[in-house]
Amino acid sequence: MISLSEPGLPRSKCAYQIRIVLLETKPEVWRCLQIPGNASLGWLHAVAQVAMGWTNSHPHQFHHRDQLISDPSFALNEYEDDPSVLDERKVLVNRLLTRPGQTFWYEYDFGDSWHHLIELEKIIDSGVVLNGKAVCLAGAGACPPEDCGGVSGYEQLLRVLKNPKHPEHKSMKQWLGRPFDPKRFSIEEANRRLAKLSWPKVTEAALRRILMGRDGA
């Protein structure tokens, strides 16, 4: 069982360097970030949405071993025989990851089922002061468009966009409504948005404003 209390250790003040990888996508989509080690998973969800490029339009959950962790408003354990789900606002990253190489999973959109692997790459002593900020150090690949059908749908979308003679080429471009480069990622743009996230928690309304600003809505 995961302890929900914040550890009384110096490590609670350390920065964590993590890598978030969207699994099974080509070209690869990943981000390397520094975050406070004592960030909650609710805050990490907001970081992942901004850094990866999602729009927070669907439910999500974290998987750590056999434990599910999510936003309680989703009522994922609504029925008696449902597995227990911990409140992501009360679970800290440094309770799940205590040494480099450890991982857990982040799933976004239960329909398209975008699975991300989150790995702790490095624990950085408190000489690195993040002051409740997330910083993107590196990354690659554009976030797939929302509601494109998961990994298989995304692969099909890229095939169609690459072939102007494909019968669905025009309709797919119209559905996207914007140019799409699967290799495009801007660290500068990601960090501008990440800097807007409040600490130690982000409301859904605040996250929506940040994402809408990013997406030009």
pLDDT in tens, 186-204: 999 999 999 999 999 999 9
Averaged pLDDT, 22-31? 97
Cβ contacts of 152 within 8 Å, gap of 6 or more: none
Residue 93 has pLDDT above 70, yes or no: yes
- 10-143+182-215 topology per CATH: 3.10.290
One-letter amino acid at 50 equals: V
- pLDDT category of residue 77 using cuts at 50, 70 and 90: confident
Averaged pLDDT, 164-184? 95
Question: How far is residue 135's CA from residue 81's CA, in Å, rounded to a whole number?
Answer: 40
The secondary structure of the chain in percent helix, strand, coil, rounded to multiples of 5, reads 30, 25, 45
Averaged pLDDT, 13-38? 95
- 30 close to 21: Cβ distance less than 8 angstroms: yes
- Sheet with strand 29-36: strands edge to edge: 85-87, 67-70, 60-64, 103-108, 114-124, 15-22, 29-36, 135-140
Task: Point out which residues pair with 87 in neighbouring strands.
Answer: 70
Indicate the pTM of the whole model. 0.92
- Please name the helix (run of DSSP H) or strand (run of DSSP E) that holds residue 16, with its range, or none: strand 15-22
Residue 5 has pLDDT above 50, yes or no: no
Tokens of 183: 């290799």
Tokens of 63: 């998987």
Residue 69 has pLDDT above 60, yes or no: yes
Q: In this predicted model, which residue has the larger pLDDT, 5 or 96?
A: 96
Q: Residue 76, Cα to own-chain centre: how many angstroms?
A: 19
- pLDDT category of residue 1 using cuts at 50, 70 and 90: low
Tokens of 71: 């936003």
